[in-house]
Copies of this chain bind each other. A is one copy, B any other.
Amino acid sequence: MQDTQGTNLDPWYGHYAERTAGLSASEVRALFAVASRPEVVSLAGGMPYVSALPQQLIERAALRAATDRAAVALQYGSGQGVPRLREQILEVMALEGIHGSVDDVVVTTGSQHALELLAKLFLDPGDVIIAEGPSYVTAITVFRSFQGEVVHVPMDDQGMNPQALRETIERVRAAGKRIKFLYTIPSFQNPTGVTLSWERRVEILEIARTSGILVLEDNPYGLLHFEQAPPPAMRSIDSEGVVYLGTFSKTLAPGLRVGWAIAPHAIREKLVLANEAAVLSPSSFSQIVISEYLDTADWKGQISTFRDVYRERRDAMLGALSDYLPSMTWTRPAGGFYVWLTMPEHLDSKAMLPRAVKELVAYTPGTAFYADGDGRRNMRLSFCYPQPDFIREGIRRLSTVINGELALLGEFSQTAPLPVQPVERDVLPPYAG
């Protein structure tokens, strides 16, 4: 991790804001350069497989933005987003049980920017954000960059544990700290792939409501289910206590950088002001390309195509894990992009990464997804981008590395070689709470 507060070589050292100390290079970021070498099988990134998109319809949408719609697409727009696109976003969200008004939707520069703006609107230094442990790496980065403190709640194979949530809220408040959000990715979570059950959605919303805590529901993957759909969005149950974040990055293309938030009215007003201050208006061009695509393409059919693509890759990964790493534990996602692998004690996924890259396979170390240093035994394995054969080969290479590590540990151990612990598959290991 690079030093970000500056050094004596930086003449502006000492001029930065306090919050800048919290802005560090993520472990995922450092991997981008590595993962882009063609000989490496990257199971590290979260890049969607955009080659599966309908070339001609994307072309037509781009052309429309540059011709008939150019007067709007090339110009500054509203800080809230193009009205027609906001209507279409309501249609997308209706698939997950959400109903609302176009007036409550704010278009942002990817849902990432909605996260950033909400952090800016809500976080004073020292404020606490409760999140699943593990959680999305760049959400943790954003919260830290506004001097927020992320406190994790353990999960199991049904998602965040409600009883642990209650205890965490109590403990944080007893320590005199203010809780600003409960941040959750309820469907096919990043990085675990786990989905929060219906019963827990209801229970967690009730806990948040009675505790007066705003819920940030981040849902990039909900429509990418491989079997049945996940339970309805939490926003479909509670419109006043939830800010919901959606995106076109996974169902269409991340390069357009268009996401959105739907928020309670007063928060929505502030979001628009914050959006205007930050970027004046989100890209009209990108919004028009997407709006034209949604108007002309069978976008629901395209989401089905993506489901088929990713299901095949998920199956390739799970199969390869069974074949090559039968003694490890991993999650079995029913949608999304990620599998979460747990290795035996004493293995360290971050320390192991350079050896993995030498074996031409990359992953994201588990520590990236915790604010507290946890996750050393874990890694996130992405099945979204490589073809199934490459996924299989990647897991094979990974097994070479892990088995080599285990052998090495055994050799150097004062005692007998570490036993490979028998673990039950399909069950997410409990995380230190």
User: Which A residues are closer than 8 A to B by beta carbons?
Assistant: 2, 4, 6-7, 9-13, 15-20, 23-26, 29, 32, 45-48, 50-51, 53, 55, 58-59, 61-63, 65-67, 70-79, 109-110, 112-113, 116, 120-124, 127, 138, 141-142, 145-146, 180, 214, 240-241, 249, 253-257, 264-267, 269-270, 273-274, 276-286, 289
Copies of this polypeptide in the complex: 2
> In whole angstroms, how far apart are the Cα atoms of A330 and B272 in the complex?
34
Which residue of chain B lies nearest to A249 when distances are taken between CB atoms in the complex?
B76
A121 to B241 Cα, complex, angstroms: 31
**A279 adjacent to B116 (CB under 8 Å):** yes
Nearest first, the 10 A-B pairs at minimum CB distance are A10-B266, A255-B284, A62-B66, A74-B253, A74-B255, A257-B283, A50-B74, A116-B278, A59-B66, A62-B62
Q: Which residue of B lies closest to A259 (CB)?
A: B279
List the B side residues contacting A4 at CB < 8 Å.
Answer: 269-270, 273
A-B contact pairs, 17 of them (CB 8 A): A7-B266, A12-B267, A16-B270, A17-B124, A18-B124, A20-B270, A24-B273, A45-B76, A50-B75, A51-B71, A62-B65, A63-B63, A76-B255, A109-B279, A120-B145, A254-B284, A283-B286
Given contacts A62-B63, A74-B255, A110-B280, contact A6 B266 (CB under 8 A): yes
Q: Are A269 and B2 in contact (CB under 8 A)?
A: yes
Check if A59 sits within 8 Å of B63, measured CB to CB.
yes
Most buried by B among A10, A61, A72, A285: A285
Query: A163: shortest Cβ distance to chain B, in Å?
Result: 25
A201 to chain B, nearest CB (A): 20
Q: Is the CB of B257 within 8 A of A279?
A: yes
Alpha-carbon distance between A264 and B16 when the two chains are bound, in angstroms: 14
A180: which of B15, B24, B257 is its contact (CB, 8 Å)?
Answer: B15
| Contact of A12 with B214 in the complex, beta carbons under 8 Å | yes
Query: CB-CB < 8 A to A71: which residues of B?
Result: 50-51
How many Å from the CB of A34 to the closest CB on chain B? 14
Q: Are A264 and B12 in contact (CB under 8 A)?
A: yes
Please name the residue on chain B nearest to A46 by beta carbon. Answer: B76
Whether A285 lies near B256 (C-beta < 8 A) is: yes
Chain B residues near A120 (CB, 8 Å)?
17, 19-20, 145
Q: Note all chain B residues with C-beta closer than 8 A to A112.
A: 278-280
Cβ-defined contact, A121 with B20, below 8 A? yes
Is A78 touching B109 in the complex (CB atoms < 8 A)? no
Residues of chain B contacted by A61 (CB below 8 angstroms): 66
In the bound complex, do residue B255 and residue A285 qualify as a contact, i.e. CB atoms below 8 Å apart?
yes
Beyond A66-B62, A270-B23, is A122–B277 a contact (Cβ under 8 Å)?
Answer: no
Q: What is the distance, in angstroms, from A354's C-beta to the closest C-beta of chain B?
A: 22
